[in-house]
Amino acid sequence: MKLAPSILSCDFARLGEELQAIESADWAHVDVMDGMFVPNISFGLPILAAARRVSSLYMDVHLMIEQPERYLKAFADAGADGLTVQVESTRHIHRAVQQVKELGKRAGVTLNPGTPLDMIKPVLGDVDLVLVMSVNPGFGGQKFIPDSLERIRTVRRWLDELGSGADLQVDGGVTAENARAVVEAGANVLVAGSAVYGPDGAGAGLQRLREALQ
Ligand code: DX5
Ligand code: ZN
């Protein structure tokens, strides 16, 4: 079980401290949005590079950008450890996954709640991580879409059938209330933004998630 707090919900004026506060977590989830693939712009290369400089956490980069292959090398150079691409964002998902692997990074594939799961099947045997989006990407703080549980179960079954050791990550609306159900459905990496960086600070948020999973 890994927890991957999303820095999208942190206070960017205090990025260093906000990363310090999640140092006991497993990964830092880095949400890159281009205002085209999703209706929001978050941040890009300089913020990842700054995070890399002050934190030794695994940088789990989620690219919500059109034609991500244009920027894979730049994000790898800026400090990404894993690069996850949206299957809808490229005509060449297989090529994008291979490029990430050629860069020596862990390759992830993800898909929106409205995208048929079959879309990721051709690369399932190649990836190091599958991310099931449990909200429509673009914003933190949205509500978990209940149908996602069934999608997680299906992907878990497919990975097991393949004998794949890929991570199964879930992102969007994960809270202390639903974390256990998400893990029981087969996920082993939970992303949480607003549930971690809440009003009482990241330490308390992380603690609540850990307790819920015990
Ligand atoms: C959604 C992002 C998520 C987001 C999760 O577009 O991909 O990673 O930060 O935020 P919460 O946990 O608040 O739903
Ligand atoms: Zn994300």
- Domain boundary assignment for the chain: 2-213
Q: What is the ipTM of this complex?
A: 0.98
Ligand lying closest to the C-alpha of residue 198: 1
Instruction: Specify the residue for token string 């209330």.
Output: 177
The Cα 197–Cα 176 span in angstroms is 13
Amino acid at 85: V
Pocket residue to mutate for ligand 1, from 12, 194, 208, most atoms within 8 A of Cβ: 194
Domain over 2-213 is classified CATH 3.55.50.30: no
Lookup: tokens for 32: 């890159």
Indicate which residues carry an active-site annotation: 31, 171
Instruction: Specify the residue for token string 């960017």.
Output: 12
Atom of ligand 1 nearest to the CA of 135: 1
The tens place of each residue's pLDDT in the chain, 214 residues long, gives 999 999 999 999 999 999 999 999 999 999 999 999 999 999 999 999 999 999 999 999 999 999 999 999 999 999 999 999 999 999 999 999 999 999 999 999 999 999 999 999 999 999 999 999 999 999 999 999 999 999 999 999 999 999 999 999 999 999 999 999 999 999 999 999 999 999 999 999 999 999 999 9
Answer for the pair 191, 29: CB distance below 8 angstroms, yes or no. Answer: yes
The Cα 87–Cα 89 span in angstroms is 6
Lookup: tokens for 98: 């291979």
